[in-house]
Structure 1
Amino acid sequence: MTDIIDKAAMALSAGLMLLGIVGMGIIELLVGAPYSPVPITNEAGEVVATPLISPQIRTGVVLAGIAVLGLYAAYKIATPLAEDARAGHETVAD
């Protein structure tokens, strides 16, 4: 049983993580070689190639997806179950 908050949290977190891992990775592949997360230099120390999307941005998008999951977990812990709210009392474990 999922409600609108459950679906929104799952969609947002999955979307952010897929964007950061798969989406931006595909964009980097389409741009072409080199596939390095750091700037590449030649013998003289000149920067000859840099990544299109910074690794910090990609990491931030993935961490934002994980943060959404963390907030969703805190929400689920803080709110009582629907059955307990209707009954108006706590249930005792066996």
Structure 2
Amino acid sequence: MKEFDITDKIATAFGAGLMLLGIVGLGLVELVAGKPYSPVPLTNEAGDVIANPAIDPTLRTGLVLLGLAVLFAWGVYRAATPDRGVDQTPTEVTAD
């Protein structure tokens, strides 16, 4: 099992922080802004826009996807780097 070093802590905190900001943080901003909670502009029968979302949904989606990309890149980095805590010397195994 690999130990977490400073790179791991930074990557996981940054990736999770972006996802939390996009989902929870901006979701709370939408709630505080009030109704409607729709991700698209609402129109009336005449086609006039009567309400817009407070935060653009593409911004929220972009933050979540960026957070996922950071966590994916961190996972690839972890898989590609060797485990520094394990002794790499070969051991001799005898058969019975």
Q: Could you say whether these structures have the same fold, taking a TM-score greater than 0.5 normalized by the shorter chain as the test?
A: yes
Unaligned runs of 5+ in 2: 92-96
RMSD, matched Cα: 1.5
What are the superposed Cα offsets for residues 7-53 of structure 1, whole Å, 9 maximum, x if unpaired?
Answer: 10111011000000000000011011111000000111000101011
Is the aligned partner of 1:41 residue 2:54?
no
Match of 1:16 in 2: 18
What are the superposed Cα offsets for residues 28-80 of structure 1, whole Å, 9 maximum, x if unpaired?
Answer: 11011111000000111000101011111100000000000110011011110
Match of 2:78 in 1: 76
**Larger RCO (CA within 8 A; separation ≥ 6):** 2
Is the aligned partner of 1:29 residue 2:25?
no
Higher share in helix:
1
User: Closer, same or farther in 2 for the Cα pair 1:73/1:31, shift >3 Å?
Assistant: same
Mapped partners of 1:43, 1:34: distance in 2: 17
Superposition TM-score, scaled by structure 1 size: 0.87
Match of 1:66 in 2: 68
Moved over 2 A (4+): 87-91
